[in-house]
Amino acid sequence: MGAQVRIGMIGAGRIGKIHTDNLLACPGAEVVAISDPCADAALEEWGAVRNIAVLPDSDAIMANPGIDAVFICSPTNTHVPLIKQAALVGKHIFCEKPVSLDLARTAAAVEAAHTAGVKLQIGFNRRFDHNFKRIRELVQDGTIGSLHMVKITSRDPSPPSPDYIRLSGGIFIDMMIHDFDMARYIAGCEIEEVYAQGEVLIDPIFATYGDLDTAVVTLKFANGALGVIDNSRQAVYGYDQRLEVLGARGSAAIANDYPNTAVISTASGIYRDKPLHFFLERYHEAYKEETRQFIDAIIHKRSVPVDGNDGLQAEQAALAALISSRLKRPVKVSEALQLSRQEGLSFA
């Protein structure tokens, strides 16, 4: 009746703690240890309450033969070496997105996991959201008919800190990567070509780091459908996460989730509260489902729902978008890596 999957959590930041708490409530999972170079008394206490060992680095986790799987929630630049190390010692891997800011390194990490025969799941949490899943079903079951168009709106309530922006790799790999993955998931096929347009309209700090804060990217899918993604780093009314599909037999659209359904009518108008504030609230249940499915995949020896190739494809689309925005022309996803080298354009 004991846990069937013992886990080492690498990285005790916000997302590492969320995954930990979700795993605590997940039948069949046990979090044995959590490592973080910034481990302090507060983290010690946080671990003690949960009966989880707190470690200063991930080596002991990697060396512990009693640990079946690791969650990599440390900074992006550590993902690739940790994946390789975990693969070598035969541990299953859940890794946050993006795998890296360098497509070749991502490919190598994915390959390492594959070769070692360990599972590698990438943290595209939105696939587990009730709304997006419903759209996926409607496309898959034929309700929408053959697909003509996918439209994704994804806007944050407010920009991240300058430090975050500086290291993020830019809007395409840091933010829109979720939407590239969603586009592939919904369309059920690969993105073949992108055309990206972006501006700095919110805060000049983005320009300082060569980044953009507002972007519109059009897509061509392998099945002939068209797509468009729009991103903004600041929707003052809150986290805006919508998607629409159009097909030969109809369309389907999802709206935001709200904290309540109350509609208030006064002498000055009709109003309601703003949508769920940000990803922690909006994707609360999706994060739980994401970890549950990873654990289930291990227990039942099934494929993970989002694998290394999914991570790689989304990064490749993001790279194509970056290049398109710089070269001001459409870019095929298949030519992104070569163009990146040729033109010296990368996320780093």
Please give the residue ranges that form the binding site for a second copy (CB under 8 A).
Answer: 1, 25, 48-49, 130-131, 133-135, 138, 143, 146, 148-149, 151, 155, 195, 197-199, 201-202, 214-216, 218, 220, 224-228, 230, 232, 234-238, 240, 246, 248-257, 259-267, 269-275, 328-330
Q: Residues near 88 by Cβ (< 8 Å), separated by ≥ 6?
A: 112, 116
- Calculate Rg over the CA atoms of the chain: 20
Return the bridge partners of 9, or none.
Answer: 34, 71
Inter-residue contact 220 to 195 (CB < 8 Å): no
Question: 314-347 in b/e burial notation, b at 16+ Cβ within 10 A?
Answer: bbbbbbbbbbbbeeeeebbbeebbebbeeeebbb
| Least gap, CB of 304 to a second copy (angstroms) | 24
Residue 341 φ/ψ region, left for φ over 0, alpha for ψ in the -120 to 50 degree band, beta for the rest:
alpha
Return the bridge partners of 221, or none.
Answer: 191
Length of the chain equals 348
| Least gap, CB of 140 to a second copy (angstroms) | 13
For a second copy, the closer CB: 161 or 260: 260
| Least gap, CB of 1 to a second copy (angstroms) | 7
What whole-number distance in Å separates Cα of residue 99 and Cα of residue 83? 9
| Least gap, CB of 11 to a second copy (angstroms) | 24
Both structure tokens of 330: 């459409």
For a second copy, the closer CB: 209 or 271: 271
| Least gap, CB of 261 to a second copy (angstroms) | 4
| Least gap, CB of 220 to a second copy (angstroms) | 7
For a second copy, the closer CB: 111 or 203: 203
Both structure tokens of 311: 């991570």
Q: Residues near 229 by Cβ (< 8 Å), separated by ≥ 6?
A: 151, 152, 153, 154, 176, 179, 180, 183, 215, 216, 217, 219
| Least gap, CB of 327 to a second copy (angstroms) | 10
For a second copy, the closer CB: 63 or 258: 258
